[in-house]
Amino acid sequence: MKNIYVIGVGLIGGSFALDLKALKPDVVVYGIDHNEAHLTTALELGLIDKKAILNDIKNADLVILSIPVNATLKLLPTLLDLIPKQGIVVDMGSTKEAICKVVDDHPKRSQFLANHPIAGTEFSGPTAAHVGLFKNKTNIICDIEKTDTERSKKVISIFESIGMRIRHMNAKDHDKHIAYVSHLSHISSFMLGKTVIDKEKNESNIFDMAGSGFESTVRLAKSSPEMWTPIFEQNKTNVIETLDEYIQNLTHFKKLMESEDFEAIRNEMKNTNYIKTILKGIS
Amino acid sequence: MKNIYVIGVGLIGGSFALDLKALKPDVVVYGIDHNEAHLTTALELGLIDKKAILNDIKNADLVILSIPVNATLKLLPTLLDLIPKQGIVVDMGSTKEAICKVVDDHPKRSQFLANHPIAGTEFSGPTAAHVGLFKNKTNIICDIEKTDTERSKKVISIFESIGMRIRHMNAKDHDKHIAYVSHLSHISSFMLGKTVIDKEKNESNIFDMAGSGFESTVRLAKSSPEMWTPIFEQNKTNVIETLDEYIQNLTHFKKLMESEDFEAIRNEMKNTNYIKTILKGIS
């Protein structure tokens, strides 16, 4: 693998390029981005070695596709049309089912690896990219049986070398579970931010009162709407289900407050403290 | 101020004791706690110099009351009964209205300062205490006009010396605003944790999928139920109001998802990105 094409030179694509170049100094990383300013920044920051255009994909050994998931849906079939015999296309998106479906019947389906590194943050763009983003992060590979073994092995070896833990899952299960542990967190955070801003925006000094707890809980509300809108769109059914359950739990909590059943409230919190055990496992 | 009594030798009380001893090496810090094991740990860790009992308060120059707010409600009048002429009692609780009310008619009301350092974390107990917890944190003082000026000045000077920014507010406004920027965050976090645990508890490997985003959003669900139940109880009306608005915003978001109005969803998130500007102010 010598000619690497990174499409979308933001946090994920740019950080991957940095790690890959450190790992394999003889690769050439080409950048493709519809945002010309981002591409120039990526070149200046040394995330990529050269700018490229879509048609150059015909020379690619590896294509890393790290753009919003709606753009992935549109572009992925074309990339498979262009990719040469030895090449492989790997996507980095936060949804998997729709993306897998759009190339399910593509004659070169085996040259695509459906992939999701759980490494995003609330920051985006090439300036957010940094060495080591993927270290100790989980990387979910979906429907691996549909990808050519020799090609997927090479990619997995790179992911492992830059510090990722590999997990396998089918695309449908991925989307169902990621709705709970990632997509719902973003909505709960965005709506918390909205609730507080709506109430407090004319009382700016009030934000003095916000401490590290609020900051942590609302952190994801800094995330990019351009990236997250298509994620919610593609994972609509699962996300609505998680939202339903979340709203039910909040409504139940409110009812306990209204009926002054503080013993039940204490128990709710006590049971949920179990999250400590869970978080120990992931940090 | 020489004889300092810290009642409740946990995160807040213990950290304050450490900062105070660094600032004024000649003070003697006495610890009082209904949990004898905590008191012994606090002594071993050097948070306090000596163990004490409630009746010793009659020798206190400064009492720091850092216990759950329901316990504060019960104990505060007794402390004012005991406090000698030169002394002052300062509480550190996350609610202020009920606490102020319980001593409103106390003959020694002017020897009490209603106070809330916005410095809590999800950790508790003496082992969580550490130097510098209060640095650059906001400290809200309520109804200062009811406290004797000479005494409150001394306390404020200590708070400023350990790095806190002082803000003033009446107790009613404090409770209203803190419901938004602190109490609601805790409920949103607890219920997020509950929703995910309920769904995923039999699929432990799924938590592999949880990244730093989930971890951050659910962090406050590690908090102590013993501390938070009475806070919700004392700030019931305000908390229910914030919960109502939060649930309404989530329900609206869900409706936008159901009607596939992703343009409106994008706009919701874009507007809420304003939180970046707000958070810049507090970090």
Average confidence (pLDDT) over A257-280: 93
pLDDT in tens, B65-105: 999 999 999 999 999 999 999 999 999 999 999 999 999 99
Q: In Å, how far is A200's CA from the nearest CA of chain B?
A: 8
Smallest CA–CA distance, residue B168 to chain A, in Å, is: 11
Please tell me the predicted confidence (pLDDT) of residue B206. 66
Please name the residues in contact with B248: beta carbons below 8 A apart, sequence gap of 6 or more: none
pLDDT of residue B270: 96
d(CA A186, CA A189): 5
Neighboring chain A residues of B181 at a CB cutoff of 8 Å: 196, 200, 206-207, 209-211, 214
- State yes or no: pLDDT of B259 exceeds 60: yes
pLDDT, average across residues B260-281: 91
Determine the pLDDT at residue A199.
85
Domain A174-282: give its CATH code: 1.10.3660.10
Q: What is the pLDDT of residue A278?
A: 79
Lookup: tokens for B2: 């020489």
**A43 conformational bin, left if phi > 0, alpha if psi -120 to 50, beta if neither:** alpha
pLDDT of residue A216: 92
Residue A41 distance to chain B (closest CA, Å): 23
- CA nearest B221 in A: which residue? A273
Closest CA to A237 of B254, B57, B59, B88: B254
Of B137, B180, B247, nearest to A250 by CB-CB distance is B247
Closest residue by Cα to residue B186 from B224, B136, B212: B224
pLDDT at residue A207 greater than cutoff 80: no
Tell me the chain B residues in contact with residue A272 when contact means C-beta distances shorter than 8 Å. 190-191, 193-194, 197, 221
Q: A178 and B242: CB-CB below 8 Å?
A: no
In the predicted model, what is the mean pLDDT of residues A185-195?
95
Which chain B residues are closer than 8 Å to A281 by Cβ?
204, 207-208
Distance CA B4, CA B28 (A): 6
Smallest Cα distance from B160 to chain A, Å: 16
Looking at the DSSP bridge assignments, the partners of residue A167 are: A140
**Closest partner residue to B275 among A140, A174, A197, by Cβ?**
A197
Contact A181 B189 (CB under 8 A): no
CA-based nearest residue in chain A for residue B175:
A209
Which member of B218, B257, B272 has the closest CB to residue A194? B272
Give pLDDT, residue A200.
78
Q: What is the ipTM of this complex?
A: 0.92
Residue of A nearest to B194 (CA): A272
Cβ distance B138 to A250 less than 8 Å, yes or no, reads no
**What's the predicted TM-score (pTM) here?**
0.93
| Residue contact A209–B181, C-beta within 8 A | yes
- Count CB atoms within 10 A of the CB of residue B208: 17
- Using an 8 Å CB-CB cutoff, list chain B residues near A193: 272, 274-275
Of the partner residues B180, B222, B232, the one whose CB lies closest to the CB of residue A196: B180
Q: Is the pLDDT of residue A283 over 60?
A: no
List, in sequence order, every beta strand (DSSP E) within B26-93. Answer: 28-32, 50-51, 62-65, 88-91
What average pLDDT does this structure show over A154-172?
97
Identical fold for domains B3-171 and B174-282, yes or no, is no
Tokens of A67: 């753009």
Type of residue at B223? S
pLDDT, averaged across chain B: 95
Q: What is the pLDDT of residue B210?
A: 84
pLDDT tens by residue, B128-149 = 999 999 999 999 999 999 999 9
Q: Write out chain A residues lying below 8 Å of B193, CB-based.
A: 272, 274-275
For the cut 60, the answer to whether the pLDDT of residue B283 exceeds it is no
Residue whose structure tokens are 């270290």: A135
Q: Which of B184, B194, B246 is nearest to B221 (CA)?
A: B194
Q: Which of A140, A141, A191, A267 to mutate to test the interface with B (most CBs of B within 10 A)?
A: A191
Check the CA dihedral B42-B48-B50-B54 and report its sign.
negative
A236-258 and B184-200 helices, crossing angle to 10°? 120
Instruction: Give the integer Cα–Cα distance in Å for A89 and A87.
Output: 7
Is B273's pLDDT higher than 80? yes
A93–chain B nearest CA distance, Å: 14
Tell me the nearest-neighbour CA distance from B143 into chain A, angstroms.
Answer: 16
Report whether A221 contacts B275 (CB < 8 A): yes
The reported pLDDT for the residue numbered A203 is 62
CA distance A63 to A29: 10
Give the number of A-B residue pairs with CB atoms closer than 8 Å.
311
Q: From B17, B200, B101, select the one nearest A275 (Cα to Cα).
A: B200
CA distance to A16, A18, A191, A198, per residue, from A9 (Å): 9, 11, 29, 34
Chain segment A42-62, per-residue pLDDT in tens: 999 999 999 999 999 999 999
Taking CB atoms and an 8 Å limit, are B281 and A236 in contact across chains?
Answer: no
The arrangement of strands across the sheet holding A88-91 comes to: A50-51, A28-32, A3-7, A62-65, A88-91, A112-117, A138-142, A165-169
| Across A211-236, average pLDDT | 94
CATH number of B3-171: 3.40.50.720
Cα–Cα–Cα angle for B19, B24, B29, nearest 5°? Answer: 70
Amino acid at B189: S
Q: How far is it, in rounded angstroms, from Cα B247 to Cα A272?
A: 20
pLDDT at B223 over 80: yes
Partnered with residue B169 across adjacent β-strands are B142
Q: What is the pLDDT of residues B32-53, one digit of tens each?
A: 999 999 999 999 999 999 999 9
- Test mutation, B168, B170, B195, chain A, max A CBs within 10 A: B195
Question: Best of B278, B280, B283 to disrupt the A interface by mutation (most A CBs within 10 Å)?
Answer: B278
Give, as one character, the DSSP assignment of residue A273.
T
Q: What is the pLDDT of residue A205?
A: 59
Torsion of CA B250, B254, B260, B263, to 10 degrees: 0
Residues in chain B: 283
| Contact criterion met (CB < 8 Å) for B246 and A120 | no
Per-residue confidence (pLDDT) for residue B171, from 0 to 100: 97
Nearest C-alpha neighbor of B97 from the set B143, B147, B152, B148:
B143
- What residues does each domain of chain B span? 3-171, 174-282
Instruction: Determine whether the interchain pair A282/B195 forms a contact, defined as Cβ–Cβ distance below 8 Å.
Output: no
